[in-house]
Chain A
Amino acid sequence: MKHVVVDPVTRIEGHLRVEVQVDEASGKVQNAVSSGTAWRGLELVMNGRDPRDAWAYIQRICGVCTTAHALGSLRAVEDALGIKIPKNAHYIRNVMAAAQSVQDHVIHFYHLHALDWVSPLEALKADSTATANLQNAVLANYQLPFAMPGGISTEAYPKDFPQATPAYFDTIKKKIQAIVDSGQLGIFSAQWWDHPDYQILPPEVHLLGVAHYLIMLDKQREIVIPHVIFGGKNPHPHYVVGGMPCAISMEDGNAPLNAARLDIVDRAINTTRALMREYYVPDALAIGAIYVKKGYTDGGGLAKKRVLGFGAYPQEPFTGTTDGGFFKDLLVRCNGVVENFAAGVTKAKFTAVGAEDLSNPKIFNESVTHSWYEYPEQADKDAALHPWDGVTKAKYTTPKEGTETAWKALDDEGKYSWLKTPKWRGKVCEVGPLARYIIIYTKAKQGLLPDPSWAEKMIIDQIETVSKVLGLAPEVWMPTMVGRTATRALEAQLDAEVGKFFFDKLLANIKSGDTKVANMEKWDPSTWPKKARGVGLYEAPRGALSHWCVIENGKITNYQAVVPTTWNACPKDDQAGHGAYEAAMMDTKVKIPDKPLEILKVVRSFDPCMACSTHLFNASGEKIKVVTTDPYMGTQTDD
Chain B
Amino acid sequence: MEKRETMLEAYLKKGMSRRSFLKGCVALTSIMGLSTDMLSKVVEAAETTPLPVVIWLHGHECTGCDESFIRSGAPLASDLVLNNIALEYDHLLSAASGEPFEAHLEETIQKYYGKYILAVEGAVATKDNGIYCMTGGKPFVDTLQHVAKGAAAVIAYGSCAVSGGIQAAKPNPTGSSGIEHYIGNKPLINVPGCPPIAEVMTGVVMHIALFGKLPPVDSENRPKQFYGNRIHDTCYRRPFFDAGMFADRYDDAGAKAGWCLYRLGCRGPETYNSCGNMRWYQGMSYPIQSGAPCIGCSSANFWDNAPFSDRLPKYGPLGDIDKIGAGLAIATTAGVAVHGALSVVQKKKRQDEENDGEQVKK
Contacts and interface: CB of A to CB of B under 8 A. Distances in A.
Interface in B12-51: 13-15, 51
Given A171-B15, A619-B173, A229 B258 contact: no
A192 B98 CA distance: 11
B258 to A, nearest CB: 3
B342 interface: no
A57 B166 contact: yes
> In this complex, which of A112, A247, A518 has the most chain B Cβ atoms within 10 angstroms of its Cβ?
A247
B63 A7 contact: no
B70 A247 contact: no
Contacts, number: 328
20 contacts: A7-B136, A11-B94, A17-B137, A38-B135, A40-B166, A41-B132, A53-B307, A60-B165, A178-B15, A182-B13, A184-B51, A186-B88, A187-B81, A214-B78, A228-B290, A230-B290, A231-B290, A234-B68, A254-B236, A396-B128
B65 interface: yes
Contacts of B132: 38-41, 418
Contacts of B259: 254
- Where chain A touches its partner, the secondary structure class is loop
Contact of B166 (A60, A179, A402): A60
Contacts of A407: 134, 137-138
B37 to A, nearest CB: 30
Contact of B63 (A13, A17, A249): A13
Contacts of B14: 175, 178-179, 182
A217 B81 CA distance: 10
B358 interface: no
Nearest to A14: B63
A253 interface: yes
A10 B67 CA distance: 15
A252 B257 contact: yes
A63 interface: yes
Contacts of A418: 132
Interface in A256-281: 256-257, 264
Interface size bracket, A side: 35 or more
B194 interface: yes
Given A63-B64, A187-B90, A182 B195 contact: no
A410 to B, nearest CB: 9
A523 B63 contact: no
A63 B62 contact: yes
Interface of B: 5, 10, 13-15, 51, 53, 58, 60-68, 70-73, 76-78, 81-82, 85-88, 90-104, 125, 128-140, 142, 165-167, 169-174, 176, 194-195, 197-198, 236-237, 247, 249-251, 255-259, 280-281, 284-293, 295, 303, 306-309
Interface of A: 5-15, 17, 37-42, 44-45, 48-50, 52-53, 56-57, 60-64, 66, 107, 111-112, 115, 171, 174-175, 178-179, 181-182, 184, 186-192, 214, 217-218, 220-221, 224-225, 228-240, 242-249, 251-257, 264, 396, 402, 404-408, 418, 515-518, 520, 523, 600, 611, 617, 619
Given A10-B92, A13-B63, A238 B287 contact: yes
Contact of A186 (B64, B86, B133, B137): B86
Contacts of B85: 186
Given A14-B63, A249-B257, A190 B101 contact: yes
Contact of A10 (B94, B139, B285, B290): B94
Contacts of B71: 221, 224, 234-235
A225 B64 contact: no
B250 A520 contact: yes
Contact of A255 (B88, B167, B258): B258
B306 A50 contact: yes
B77 A217 contact: yes
Contacts of A188: 95
Given A41-B167, A187-B87, A405 B139 contact: yes
A218 B100 contact: no
A506 to B, nearest CB: 15
B238 to A, nearest CB: 12
A243 B252 CA distance: 13
B15 A191 contact: no
A404 B130 CA distance: 10
B139 A236 contact: no
B101 A15 contact: no
Contact of A238 (B53, B86, B169, B290): B290
A235 B94 CA distance: 21
A148 B180 CA distance: 51
B97 A10 contact: yes
Given A63-B66, A407-B134, A217 B257 contact: no
B196 to A, nearest CB: 10
Contacts of A181: 13
